[in-house]
Amino acid sequence: MIFGVRHSVAVAAALGTLAAVIIAVLTWKGAPVTSETFLVTTYIGLFLGALWAMYATGLVVVYTTTGVFNFAQGAIGVFAAFLYWELHVNRDWHSILALFVVVGLFAPALGVVLDILIMRRLRTASLVVQLMVTVAIMVLLLSVVGDIWEADTPRRVPYLFGINNGIDLGPSQLPWHRLIVFVVAIAIAVSMRFLLRRTRIGTAMRAVVDNRELAALNGARPNVVSSTSWALGSMMGALGGILIAPELGLDPATLNNVVIIAFAAAAFGALRNLPLAVVGAMLIGLLRAHTGAWLDFGPDFRFAHLSIAPLLLLFVVIALPQARLEVGRLAHHLRRHERYTKWWEGLLGCGVVILLAAAFSGGWLDFGGWDPGAWGSRELNSANEAMALALIGLSLVPLIGWAGQINFAPLAFAGFGAFVYLKLAGDTGNGYWILMVGLLCAPLGAIVALPAARLRGLYLALMTMAFAQAMSLIFFPHPWVMPIIGTGRQFPHIDLFGITFDDRRGFFMLMVSVFAIFVYALVLLRRSRYGRRWMAINDSQAAAATLGVPVVWTKVVVYAVSASMAGIAGVFWATVSGNVDSVQGFDLLLGFNIVLLVAAAGVSIPMAGIFLIFIPLFKGFGLRLEDAGNVDFLVTLLDIMTTYGPGLMVLGMVFNPRGAIFEMGRGFSPILPWRSDARAEIAAENAQKREPEIGELGLERPFTPEEVIAIDRRLEILDDVVPKEGYGTSRS
C-alpha cells in the first residue's frame, strides 16, 4: 500500500499520468493559457461532467440495488428527451409540466414496467443473458423512437433554465443553466447516497440484491424494492437525457452513445460507489474540455479527444481488484445440459449446411413454392454480408459460449484481421495470406486476454466494450489503416487454389465452406480434453484450477483462437464490401448487434452463427413479396420483424436463456434415429410435467415419496433415472 492505495492502482495511476503528460507535450496546440480561458474551460468540463454524472448515478443505483448493469440507461434518456420535446416543443406544454410528466410519471412507470415484465425474470439468469437483455431493450427503445419521431427533421430541445444569463466571469459568463445542472447533479448523487446508506428502504435495496430470500425474511418486500430501484434509475436516465439533449441535439444514436461515458464514470466508482462515480464523470468532463482547448491531435487521430472515456474505462477496469469468485452461483453450472456432438454428426451437419447453401444459392431446390432460382445478385450480396457476419459471430462461440468470457469486441478483431490482410496481400487478393491473418490476430487476442485473465463477468464486458470503442476511435480512423481508394476495390476478390472468387455465388460457397470447417473444428475441439478445459473455467475457475487447469493460459488460448477466427472472418467481411469505411465498418454498435444475435441464437452452439443468415433471407423475402404486390400487410409484418425482430428475439432469452438454435435442436433431435437419448430426455420432461406440485415444502405435512423424487429431480441430484423404462420405475 502507498498512502493507503494499493500498489497496482498507484502504479497504474502513475503510468497513466505520465502517459497523459507525454501526450500533452507532443500535441500541445500552443494557444495562450490565461486565467480566463482556464476558468471557462474548467467550468465547461465540470458542467459536462455533471451531465454524465446523472447518467452514471442512475447506473450505479440500479446496479447496486438490482445487480443488473443497465445498458439501456442511455436509451431511456433518449426516449425521455424525445417525449419531452414532443410535449414541450411540439405540443407547447410548459417546460415544468412536461418535465414532471416525463421524469415524474413516465420514467418511473417505464422502470416499473421493465422490472415487472423483464428484469425480475433475470434474477437468476447468467450475466450473458442479463447483459444481452438490457442491450435488447436499448435496441428496441431506439427503434421505437426512430419509428415515432422520424429523423429527417432535426430537432432541438431548449435549455431548461435559459442559457443567456449568468454569473459574470470577466469577458465570459457562467450561465445559470449550467450552474443549476451542476448543483442538481451533485444533489442527486448526494441524496441517492443518503437514500442507499441512511434509510430503511436503501438498506432494503442493497440487502435484496445480496440475498433476496434473507431480505424477505427480514421484512423487506423484494418486488417493491426492485421496482423502486428501476423507477429511480429510469428517472435519472430520463433527467439526464433531457438535460443532455440541448447540448447534443435530438439524435438517438448520438444521445445514446453518451452512455458509454457514463459507463466509464460508473466504473471509476467500481459500479457501486456513487461519490467516486461522480468524481469519474467530472474527471472525464474536465479532460475532454481541456483536451479540446489545448491539444491538437492532427488528422491521424482526429477522434482522440472522444476516446478519453473508453480509455479511462479500459484503464479503470484493468486497475480494479481481481474479481471475486462467484461461488454462490456454482450450483447453476454444476450440471451441463449440452450433449457433445459426435464427430460424424458434426461432419454430417456441415455437409448438410453446405448442400443446403449450394441448393439455395444455386436455385436447385424449391423452398415452399418460392422459387429460389429467382435469387439475384442482390440476394447473394446480402447473403454474403450475412455469411461474413456469421463467421464473425462464430468466433464468439468458444469465447463466450464455452469459456464464458464476454466479448463485445468481435468487430475490433475482425477489423484488425482485415487491416493485416490489406497490408499483407495488398491488391493481389492472394487468399493464402488469410492463414497468416489468423496467426497474426491470435497475439492481439492474447494481449486482450491478459487483463481479461483477472477480470470476470461485467468488468470483462466493459473492458472489451472499451477496447472496441478505443479501436474504432483511434486505430481504424487512422488514414494509413484502410484508406478508401478512388477506383476499383480496396479489397480485391480472393484468389485461392488457383480460383479467383469474383462471382458472388462462388464467394458465398467459399465462406460457407470456411464456416463449415470452423464449425467442424469446434465440434472436435469441444469433444477434446482441451475444449473441456474451456468449459471448466466457465463452470468454476476455482474448481478448474484445483484440477490442474492453468486458468490464465487457458483464457489466453481461447482469446487467441477467437481473435484468430474473427480476424479471418474480417477478411471476408471486408472483401464482401470491396471498399470498407473503417470508421463505420467496424463500429461498436454493429459489434453489439452481432453479439446480440448470436446470443439469441444460442452462443454455446457452433451453428448459432448461421442464424445471422436469416436476416437477409427475411429481407429478400420481403423484397420478393413487395415485387409480387398486393401483400402489403405481409411486407409490413416483415418490416416490423426486421426492425424489432432481433431485439425481441433477444428478449426471448428471458424464457429460453440457451437460445433459439438450442431449443430448435432439442425439438429436432428426437426425430433422428440414433438420438434415443433425446427421446428419453423428452419423455422424462413430459413425465416431470405430470408430477404433482411440491406444494408447501413439507411445512404442513410430510413429503410423499413422489415429492421427494420430484425435489431430487428439481435439485438435479438424481442423474441416474433410466427414463426409457418410465419415470421412477428403475433407479440405481
Partner 1 sequence: MKHLRWTIGLLAIFALVAVSCGGNDDSGGSAPAAAPTEAPDDSMDESGGTADDMDDSMGDDSMDDSMGDDMDDSMGDDSMDDSMGDDMGDDSMDDEMDDSMDDEMDESDAEPVATEEPEVDPCEAVDLEATDIGITSDTITVLVMADVGSPLAPGLFQGSIDGVKAWANQVNSEGGLACRQIEVLEHDSAINPTETTNGFLVACEEAFALVGTTALFALDTTDLQSCADAQGNEIGVPDFAYITTEPPHQCSVVTFATSRPNSECPYAGTGDRAVQSQVGHVQYLLENVSSELNGVYLIPSDLPSTIATSMPQVRAFQEIGVVIDGEPGISGFTTQSEYGAFIQIMRDNTSNFAYSGSDDQSMIKWRSEAEAQGLDADSVIWMCQLACYTPSFLEAGDVIENTYIWIWFLPFDEADTNQELADFMEAIDDPFPPAWAAGSWADGVLFEQVVNEIVAESGPNALTRQAVLDGARNLTSFDVNGWWSPADYSTTENIMPCFMLMQVQNNEFVRVHPAERGELDCNPDNVVGLTRDWGAEFGG
Q: Are 579 and 489 in contact (CB under 8 A)?
A: yes
- Least distance CB 90 / partner 1 (angstroms): 11
- Tell me the C-alpha to C-alpha distance, in Å, between residue 2 and each of 14, 18, 475, 613: 12, 18, 35, 54
Q: Which CB sits closer to partner 1, 234 or 577?
A: 577
- Least distance CB 262 / partner 1 (angstroms): 14
- Least distance CB 255 / partner 1 (angstroms): 8
Q: Which CB sits closer to partner 1, 399 or 512?
A: 512
What gap in Å lies between CA 62 and CA 266, rounded to an integer?
Answer: 11
Q: Which CB sits closer to partner 1, 337 or 378?
A: 378
- Least distance CB 695 / partner 1 (angstroms): 48
- Least distance CB 202 / partner 1 (angstroms): 33
- Least distance CB 267 / partner 1 (angstroms): 20
Strands 499-500 and 495-496, how do they pair? antiparallel
What gap in Å lies between CA 209 and CA 68, rounded to an integer?
Answer: 9
- Burial-class residue 377 by CB neighbours within 10 Å (0-12, 13-18, 19+): exposed
Q: Which CB sits closer to partner 1, 506 or 670?
A: 506
Q: Which CB sits closer to partner 1, 289 or 471?
A: 289
Quick one: CA dihedral 568, 570, 575, 579, positive or negative? negative
What gap in Å lies between CA 413 and CA 446, rounded to an integer?
Answer: 11
What gap in Å lies between CA 493 and CA 721, rounded to an integer?
Answer: 56
Q: Looking at 85-126, list the stretches that DSSP marks H as alpha helix, in order from N- to C-terminal side.
A: 95-99, 107-117
370 is written with which cell numbers?
418460392
- Least distance CB 601 / partner 1 (angstroms): 20
Q: Which CB sits closer to partner 1, 399 or 509?
A: 509
Give the 3-state DSSP-derived string for 380-439, with helices as H, strands as E and coil as C.
HHHHHHHHHHHHHHHCHHHHHHHCCCCCCCHHHHHHHHHHHHHHHHCCCCECCHHHHHHH
Angle, CA 78 vertex, CA 128 and CA 85 arms, to 5°: 165
Strands 495-496 and 172-175, how do they pair? unpaired
What gap in Å lies between CA 212 and CA 204, rounded to an integer?
Answer: 10
Q: Which CB sits closer to partner 1, 116 or 617?
A: 617
- Least distance CB 572 / partner 1 (angstroms): 13
Q: Which CB sits closer to partner 1, 298 or 673?
A: 298
- Least distance CB 701 / partner 1 (angstroms): 56
- Least distance CB 17 / partner 1 (angstroms): 23
| Residues in the chain, overall count | 732
66 is written with which cell numbers?
438490482
Q: Are 685 and 666 in contact (CB under 8 A)?
A: no
Q: Which CB sits closer to partner 1, 150 or 700?
A: 150
Coil, strand or helix at 322: coil
Q: Which CB sits closer to partner 1, 384 or 562?
A: 384
Distance between alpha carbon 502 and the CA centroid of its chain, in Å? 34
- Least distance CB 503 / partner 1 (angstroms): 3
Q: Which CB sits closer to partner 1, 275 or 479?
A: 479
Query: Percentages helix, strand, coil for the chain, rounded to the nearest 5?
Result: 70, 5, 25
Q: Which CB sits closer to partner 1, 199 or 377?
A: 377
Query: DSSP characters for 519-555?
Result: HHHHHHHHHSHHHHHHHHHHH-HHHHHHTT--HHHHH
Q: Are 588 and 472 in contact (CB under 8 A)?
A: yes
- Least distance CB 677 / partner 1 (angstroms): 21
